[in-house]
Structure 1
Amino acid sequence: MKKIYPKEWLKLHPYQIVDEVDRYYTDVANQIYQVLNTPLADGMFEEKDARYFSLCLTAWFEDVISQVGIWTTFTAACKKRYGNWLPFYPLDDNYYPDEINVEDIRFLLWHHIQFSSRDEGRIINPENPVIELFANELYCILDEIYETAPENERLWQFMHPKGKGGLNSFEKYRLVLQWFHYDSYFNIENQKQYEDELEETTSDLSEDWQGKKNLLVYNTYTALMLQGRRDLLSLTSCEWLALWAEQNNGPQEWRSTKEYIESFFLLTGEDDGFLYLQDLCGKDEVYRVTKDSFDLSSIKDRQVGESVALCTLLHYGKVWNQIGIMSLLPSLNNDIKQAVESLRDKKEHRNEKAVYEDFIRATGGKPFYFCKSRQEMIDFLTHEMKYRTAEGLKLPSIRAKHGLILMASPRTGLYIQTQLCECVKSPDNPFYDAKAAAQKALSFLLSPDVIPYDLSCMLQDRGMLPDAMLNSLKGEEYGRKFLQQNAHFLTDYFFHRCREKDYDA
């Protein structure tokens, strides 16, 4: 077994120099790793994943001991959103949110195993008895040292800059945001998302872009730091730090830093400290953006009333900051006007809303319509919705052995599900089959490839997926009940979405 060294431990921390506290927790990580380096764990983790989990679980323990507040922010948000401190497990008065609990370890084990299994398409049952076995053993190790483990004051100070005399600045905030998003134990998916998107972005660059690869790297890194939502609450990291600051007496500026705007902006004014940018894709609001956040030398040709900027603004404190790459365009020509209109349509879901209204009108108010065949679907689209196929365009061949479902929402527009019609229970669905639904309906709750998030929520809220179940050693009925009790969390988790942001009930 290859030992974990302090250098590896530091990768989860916002500093570079090892001290005695880091050595202590590295030893703890090795104790955890030794437990996981057994034949029983072979089916759960690959070796590299076991090492990473050992580090992350130790960092979670350090978070609780040092009262940094990352984990307690999550459990408090769980309580508010899902009605319990944690999903899955029955908790009683013996669960203490600000201490370590065996249920916390069970959940973290499940989360890491599920993440490492996603590429295989496996769904891990949170009640897996092997997970429970390891959680109990790991809890015993950590409980034994709970009263004597040292606090990490450096980590606490990093997260509490104001209370410990640190700088309460935007640059400090960016450092915390970057560390939290990419390197903290809590966000285990973000680095992989960045690597995947970067590979996709740079894999087939034209010669013109080869020399600008570093810009693409920086832009991808920054954009995901602001927009990525692959955490346990499906929030952006800015929103997450705002939650943390509210709960842990963090800087006031962090609590209000939730909003970013990516858009085309017209430069409407300038003074010694600020540029004034009018959002062309929103409500024409003018934003006061500090010059300190710009590389002014790269936009020295700017002209008030003429120049158009394509950039991202982040609200911090009482001012806006430009963050990431900015493209400065000389004027609002016809090509830019078309791009502006296209982005405005996307932001406001104009096309989707128009399709939804047509759909609701055609169905008499229902957001779904069941078809027995491809031809029936075409008849509905052409005769009821009054749509016409573009000249030369042929609709794809569709095998409708078990029917088709047409669904619509203001966010998604029209969506056609061609494979799993038999899973949806409705008086209007002649193909509904409870037995088939018990085997397949889980996909509607856990697979973004099967259905958009808001439509999954709609089907759940209308009770149209009653047969969906998770395989359980305790039987089908238990697996069905367990899934229904945890459907809200699981759908958020697998879709990387949440109802308060992505679903209009």
Structure 2
Amino acid sequence: MKANSTSIYMQDWLALHPYNRVSETDQYYLDLANDILKIWNKSELSFQVNSEIKSSVACHLTAYFEDVISQLGLWKAFISKHKELYGKYLPFYSLSDSYFEDEVNYEDIAFLLWLNMQLYVGNDKEELIDPEESSIMALAKEIYDFLDTEYEVAPENTFMTGFFDFGNKEYDKFPAFANDAEWLFFQSYLLALCNEEPINEIIGQVHKFYPKAADKEKNAIIHDAVNRLMFSDPCGPLALSMNEWLSAIAGSQQPFKESFDKFEFIDREEFYVIEKSNLHIKIRSAANGREIDVTKESIKNVSGLHPWKTVIRVCCAFYNDTWWFFGEYSTRELNDEEDIRPAVPYIKEEKADDPVYDTFMKASNGESLMFIPSYDALKEFFINGLKWEDNEDNMMPDLKDMQNFVLHANPKGMLIAPNIAEYVKDARNPMYNAEEARKNALDLFTVQGACPADLLRFLEESNRLPDAGFISKKGEEYSKKVFHDNWDFISRLFLESYYRAE
């Protein structure tokens, strides 16, 4: 964004939209964004943010207002899905009697302002910002009062009003779905904000592992990786997959909602080309033998795909009862000596109970949770308790330099989390340290990979993480109550794919 402390420009505003040409309402909303920026510049927000962040947040708040006025449906999808999950429209805030889901609300502004401050400022400081921090609430009230005066006169952006009119688009085919998903993921005020960090991670990894590659090659790798991320990982403040977001926007009465709900994505893998017909290419997964028929519409040139001679490495998307190739692909010749996996009937995998569960429960005297102080003690449990063979691979050598383990068994298997036992309050846990827990237990909910999702849920739902909270001027008890009342939302927001991991 090229805005300075006093101006937001048209190109900055259009960057949040699925079009490039100025519509008849864009100047109105651009002026509104600049008015919000002026209000902010006169306020006393407790957080030091640069002019670029201020301008971005002003645009995001204006885009929310445009969404509500124009009935785009993204904000309504968010609050409706939040209510479906948690029985209330928003996290953190007690809603007033004047809260209406189809109108602009003070609590909406407060949440969006907090979300932006958390992702732009709080994450950098590795802290959870108090959602009711006084300066956030005061600025939210000023912005709300201003937008409330504009509510009756604000014009609809008719392009945005009709953007998710699914009946007027070629939504019977995957490209229309993919195009709108791309805008949601990369540009929309609500989802793109949450996706900046994982996208920046990908960019950093590409520059790290391809230091000598030309910029054009790096950009191609980045473009491919982030496009795959769009469909492979959950995103946004509720950690929903793209088809779940579009399904929530569509609502129960919209056409193609069933296609959204049944959407499936196979991330890049190798397939044998089996046969070609006038309409389809039949391919077989080299990994599991699953066969699918992919429409020829999804690939420009099929001449290089030869049955029983070509292996294609590609992503596949299932939409509206049709499989499509997606993104970049590569091919190689099938090795004559290659052991081709036979076709197998596809059955959606239902994971059976893991046999280690019964062994674990027997070794732990019926306790599903164990606390082990050191790696040596962990090895002893593996060998004497679980009866594992004593060899390097079985003993999880990656854990050698770690301690304070928490082990949890459920029918899916056994989960191990190192370096967290100090945060878990349990009469059987000698490592619990209330002071350390007050400082660091929050990490289990906000740091990806710190604790497996099933273990986190078990510990929270059994009240074994009572010290988790954030710093607030309203005191520790307030902080803990707000945190634990909203822990699942917080986990979704920060853990994303780790939260949704099976």
Question: Structures share a fold, TM > 0.5?
Answer: yes
CA distance in 2, matches of 1:264, 1:364: 45
CA contact (8 A) 2:448 2:498 kept: no
CA distance in 2, matches of 1:304, 1:78: 48
Alignment of 1:341-490 (within 5 A): 359-360=360-361, 362-387=363-388, 388-390=390-392, 398=401, 403-407=404-408, 414-418=415-419, 420-490=420-490
User: 1:461, CA displacement in angstroms?
Assistant: 1.9
Alignment of 1:9-158 (within 5 A): 9-38=13-42, 40-41=44-45, 43-117=47-121, 118-158=123-163
User: 1:451, CA displacement in angstroms?
Assistant: 1.4
CA distance in 1, matches of 2:29, 2:275: 53
User: 1:241, CA displacement in angstroms?
Assistant: 1.0
Superposed CA offset, 1:285-343 (max 9, x none): 4222111101325xx343324533322111122211110122323337888879x9xxx
Q: 1:210 to 1:7 in 2, by over 3 A?
A: closer
The match for 1:266 is 272
The match for 1:278 is 284
Larger CA deviation: 263-272 vs 287-296: 263-272
How well do the aligned residues superpose, as a CA RMSD in angstroms? Answer: 3.3
Q: 1:210 to 1:475 in 2, by over 3 A?
A: closer
Instruction: In structure 1, list runs of 5 or more residues that go unmatched.
Output: none
CA contact (8 A) 1:222 1:324 kept: yes
CA contact (8 A) 1:160 1:166 kept: no
Larger CA deviation: 64-73 vs 154-163: 154-163
CA distance in 2, matches of 1:360, 1:51: 56
User: 1:502, CA displacement in angstroms?
Assistant: 3.3
Larger CA deviation: 374-383 vs 60-69: 374-383
User: 1:412, CA displacement in angstroms?
Assistant: 8.3
* TM-score (ref. length: structure 2): 0.87
Q: 1:488 to 1:24 in 2, by over 3 A?
A: same
Superposed CA offset, 1:25-51 (max 9, x none): 000000111111246236253221110
CA distance in 2, matches of 1:264, 1:358: 37
CA contact (8 A) 2:281 2:295 kept: yes
Q: 1:475 to 1:248 in 2, by over 3 A?
A: farther
Superposed CA offset, 1:360-413 (max 9, x none): 55335544321244432222122222332329997766575xx43234567785
**What amino acid does structure 1 have at the position aligned with 2:386?**
M
2:189 maps to 1:185: yes
* TM-score (ref. length: structure 1): 0.86
Alignment of 1:212-227 (within 5 A): 212-213=217-218, 215-227=220-232
Larger CA deviation: 56-65 vs 310-319: 310-319
Q: 1:492 to 1:161 in 2, by over 3 A?
A: closer
Paired residue secondary structure (1:425)? coil
- Pick aligned residue for 1:2 from 1, 6, 16: 6
**What amino acid does structure 1 have at the position aligned with 2:316?**
L
User: 1:460, CA displacement in angstroms?
Assistant: 1.1
CA contact (8 A) 2:246 2:260 kept: yes
CA contact (8 A) 2:130 2:471 kept: yes
Larger CA deviation: 362-371 vs 86-95: 362-371
CA distance in 1, matches of 2:384, 2:434: 32
2:209 maps to 1:204: yes
**What amino acid does structure 2 have at the position aligned with 1:318?**
D
CA distance in 2, matches of 1:205, 1:443: 31
Paired residue secondary structure (1:296)? coil
Which protein, 1 or 2, shows the higher relative CO under an 8 Å CA cutoff with sep ≥ 6? 2
User: 1:94, CA displacement in angstroms?
Assistant: 2.0
CA contact (8 A) 1:259 1:314 kept: yes
Paired residue secondary structure (1:312)? strand
CA contact (8 A) 2:310 2:332 kept: yes
Larger CA deviation: 28-37 vs 405-414: 405-414
Paired residue secondary structure (1:142)? helix
CA distance in 2, matches of 1:498, 1:93: 36
Paired residue secondary structure (1:159)? coil
Instruction: In structure 2, list runs of 5 or more residues that go unmatched.
Output: none
Larger CA deviation: 36-45 vs 374-383: 36-45
Q: 1:235 to 1:203 in 2, by over 3 A?
A: same
Paired residue secondary structure (1:287)? strand
**What amino acid does structure 1 have at the position aligned with 2:430?**
P
